A and B are shown apart, each in its own frame.
Chain A
Amino acid sequence: MAKQDEQTVGKVHTGFCAFVQDLPSNPSSEKLKDLILAFCGVKDLGFDVSTKDYIYGAVEYYKGNVREGDKKTPCALGDS
């Protein structure tokens, strides 16, 4: 399935992908923590973390596994 264009999916993907785009090069567990808090509705990051897959994908980005992260999220960091 082709990756969704961030511009067409509204704040959900645009915000999320921008948030995680530097995780592969600059791993931050604080960012992962904030995604979990947002998923639980505890913190507002300005975008929705609608499924756990977003978190699992971000974890892959953190580990430098960009392709695996892209599989779990609507982002296409591997294409950039």
Chain B
Amino acid sequence: MTLTNSGKDWLARNAGVNNCFASSGVSYKDLEGNSHTGSTTDVAAMLVVASLLGYPYTTKEIVNGKSYEDFVKANGYDLDIEDVKTVCELQEATTPYCAAVATPTTTPTVTPTPTTKCEWFSDHIPMMSADIMDLVRAYLDIIDLGWDVSAADIMGAVAYYLGDKDRGNEFTGCSL
């Protein structure tokens, strides 16, 4: 009997209302493809049915376009018959269970950056190792790219090279 917090969150997001367990208003499908409306507990019980019947029922859509296999990926464990009671208790609690709200990541304040620099980065995506070498040369004043290259720009270029645009933008101040 293992219903993890990830599994609860999956149920709240996919089989709840406003990301919370709900006693009604949840649309789901049975394993014959018929549509129903019920509670988060109904969905949990249908997921258990899919588990008991096994493949290919575990791959059938039950709720929000997702199947029992999708649930297991989130929960990490199979859902047991007894877990349905737990879901019901969480659903009927004075404050029904709600999925954890993702904490928004702090967006760094981006200082306006000279267009020339960002244009250069934009023109060199996907970033090549030769581009990074040019940045290093410019940083060492060996060549001139038309703008001042900082160490952060080089780190940003490496991030772009690794395919991490968000991280690269943080370093360069550009919005690629």
Cβ–Cβ < 8 Å partners of A32 in chain B: 49, 52-53
Shortest CB–CB separation between residue B141 and chain A, in angstroms? Answer: 72
Are A29 and B81 neighbours in the complex by a CB distance under 8 Å?
A: no
> A29-B31, A33-B30 known; A42 and B41 CB under 8 Å?
yes
Chain B interface size band reads: 20 to 34
Q: How large is the interface on A (under 10, 10 to 19, 20 to 34, 35 or more residues)?
A: 10 to 19
Whether, in the assembled complex, A11 has its beta carbon less than 8 Å from a beta carbon of chain B, the answer is no
Which DSSP category, helix, strand, loop or mixed, fits chain A's interface?
helix
Chain B residues with CB under 8 Å of chain A are 30-32, 34, 36, 41-42, 45-46, 48-50, 52-53, 57, 81-82, 84-85, 88
- B30-A30 in contact (CB<8A): yes
* A28 CB-CB contact with B under 8 Å: yes
- Which residues from 16 to 63 on chain A have a C-beta closer than 8 Å to any C-beta of chain B? 27-30, 32-34, 36-37, 39-42, 52, 55-56, 59, 62-63
Residue of A nearest to B92 (CB): A42
Known: A28-B30, A30-B36. A42 touches B88 (CB 8 A): yes
Residues of A within 8 A of B (CB): 27-30, 32-34, 36-37, 39-42, 52, 55-56, 59, 62-63
